[in-house]
């Protein structure tokens, strides 16, 4: 497929839902987009609790083997990396056993259903001295990479305020049926875990550690139609929305929220960062654009510049040589390349599961309802 020198990284994939498919597409795309990669992903086997799903997935993505017993992956010498795309309730068991078996772990967010689970997984990974990776793919959008560079390079000065918000409408309607996402037992927190983990990861990634946080969680729609029992409803017991204020270690202030019942917000993930020398803004719905303002522009010409990212913004040019637009799935290709590249080079990269522990601490603190010092 690639040069003779390229290493194949053996992958065992667990979970065949939407996110599993996104991962498989990303792995397959790595050599096309990064033909000079140090390694390429090689999916050797896929597992799902339902054998027919595993088989269909294997056929769809041309994977040679499939199983309904994910534990078999852990015993295979040709599997170096275990890719965890199951619902969160299975993460603890799979990730800790995979680590114990000496496999590197690439886990979707939220990693644990709560701080304890996330910490336990991180402990297992550390103890086993394996590498870990987490699917915080919004970091990978070229516009977000540019934002990170502008901030970390000091181009916009000292951060003063950080707003991050992630709102979706999938639960917006009172008629939206109950699913595992609305169950604390199966999903852990609701919007706070599903959306909040991205919110807090972006905040930490872009503006550094948070010292204190104070939040709220709300159940807006307390009962939903039970798809299993026509005419009946089922109780929602995790949050539909959260809000939070924060103080960063740097002294900057933070304003965060997530909402899964937000009419009008079709996957609206945004950040808005004000600093002493400029400001940056991003909206996932226009993921290829970054809004940047530099304070040293003359007042009569100052404002936000809409940068349409393109070939001048790495690794954009790998995909298209003009500004015709990347999509959500492309961010996962960038992420997959980083994962196998790090493994091939033996480098430790962020975001690791350790980074998720910091996120999980914030999620935990928000639920307590008043100001909470966060141990960074």
Q: Identify residues 60-99 at the interface with a second copy (CB under 8 A).
A: 60-62
SS3 label, residue 116:
helix
Residues 35-64 that bind a second copy (CB under 8 A): 35, 56, 59-62
Residue 228 is a binding residue for a second copy (CB under 8 A): no
Burial tier of 12 (Cβ tally within 10 Å: 0-12, 13-18, 19+): buried
Residues 111-140 that bind a second copy (CB under 8 A): none
Residue 274 is a binding residue for a second copy (CB under 8 A): yes
- Which helix or strand (DSSP H or E) is residue 291 part of? strand 289-294
Residue 277 is a binding residue for a second copy (CB under 8 A): yes
- The residue among 1 and 228 lying less far from a second copy, judged by its C-beta, is 1
CA–CA separation, 98 and 120 (whole Å) = 13
Residue 350 CB partners (closer than 8 Å, separation 6+): 205
Residue 180 is a binding residue for a second copy (CB under 8 A): no
CB of 269 to a second copy, least distance (A): 9
Residue choice 102, 180, 185, 218 for contact with a second copy (CB under 8 A): 218
CA–CA separation, 118 and 126 (whole Å) = 12
CA–CA separation, 10 and 8 (whole Å) = 6
CB of 129 to a second copy, least distance (A): 34
- Which helix or strand (DSSP H or E) is residue 276 part of? none
CB of 32 to a second copy, least distance (A): 5
Contact 245, 216 (CB under 8 A): no
Residue 250 is a binding residue for a second copy (CB under 8 A): no
Residues 322-351 that bind a second copy (CB under 8 A): 322-330
Residue 266 is a binding residue for a second copy (CB under 8 A): yes
CB of 178 to a second copy, least distance (A): 17
Helix 51-61 and helix 18-33: axis angle, to 10°? Answer: 20
Residue 231 is a binding residue for a second copy (CB under 8 A): no
The DSSP symbol for 278 reads E
x/- binding map, residues 137-176, to a second copy, per CB under 8 A?
---------x---------x---xx-x---xx-x-xxx--
CB of 1 to a second copy, least distance (A): 5
Helix 328-345 and helix 18-33: axis angle, to 10°? Answer: 70
């Amino acid at each position: 497929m690639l040069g003779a020198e390229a290493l194949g990284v053996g992958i065992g994939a667990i979970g065949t839902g939407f996110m599993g498919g996104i991962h498989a597409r990303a792995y397959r795309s790595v050599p096309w987009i990064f033909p000079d990669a140090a390694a390429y992903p090689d999916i050797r086997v896929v597992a799902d609790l339902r054998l027919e799903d595993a088989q269909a997935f294997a056929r769809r993505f041309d994977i040679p083997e499939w199983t309904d017993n994910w534990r078999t992956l852990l015993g295979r010498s040709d599997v170096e990396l275990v890719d965890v795309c199951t619902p969160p309730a299975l993460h603890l068991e799979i990730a800790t056993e995979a680590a114990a078996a000496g496999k590197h772990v690439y886990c979707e967010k939220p990693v644990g259903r709560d701080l304890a689970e996330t910490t336990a997984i991180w402990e297992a990974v550390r103890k086993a001295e394996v590498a870990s990776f987490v699917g915080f793919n919004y970091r990978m959008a070229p516009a977000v990479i540019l934002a990170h560079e502008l901030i970390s390079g000091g181009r916009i000065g000292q951060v003063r305020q950080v707003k991050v918000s992630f709102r979706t409408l999938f639960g917006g309607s009172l008629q939206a049926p109950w699913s595992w996402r609305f169950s604390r037992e199966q999903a852990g927190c609701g919007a706070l875990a599903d959306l909040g983990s991205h919110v807090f990861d972006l905040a930490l990634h872009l503006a550094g550690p948070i010292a204190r946080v104070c939040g709220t969680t709300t159940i807006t729609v307390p009962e939903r139609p039970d798809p299993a029992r026509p005419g009946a409803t089922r109780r929602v017991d995790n949050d539909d929305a959260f809000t939070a204020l924060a103080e960063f270690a740097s002294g900057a202030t933070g304003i965060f929220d997530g909402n899964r019942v937000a009419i009008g917000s079709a996957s609206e993930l945004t950040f808005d960062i004000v600093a002493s020398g400029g400001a940056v803004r991003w909206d996932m719905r226009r993921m290829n654009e970054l809004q940047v303002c530099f304070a040293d522009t003359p007042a009569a010409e100052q404002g936000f510049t809409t940068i349409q990212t393109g070939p001048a913004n790495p690794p954009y040019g790998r995909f298209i040589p003009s500004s015709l637009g990347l999509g959500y799935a492309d961010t996962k290709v960038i992420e997959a390349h980083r994962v196998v590249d790090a493994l091939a080079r033996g480098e430790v990269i962020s975001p690791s599961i350790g980074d998720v522990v910091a996120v999980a601490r914030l999620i935990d603190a928000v639920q307590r309802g008043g100001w909470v010092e966060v141990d960074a």
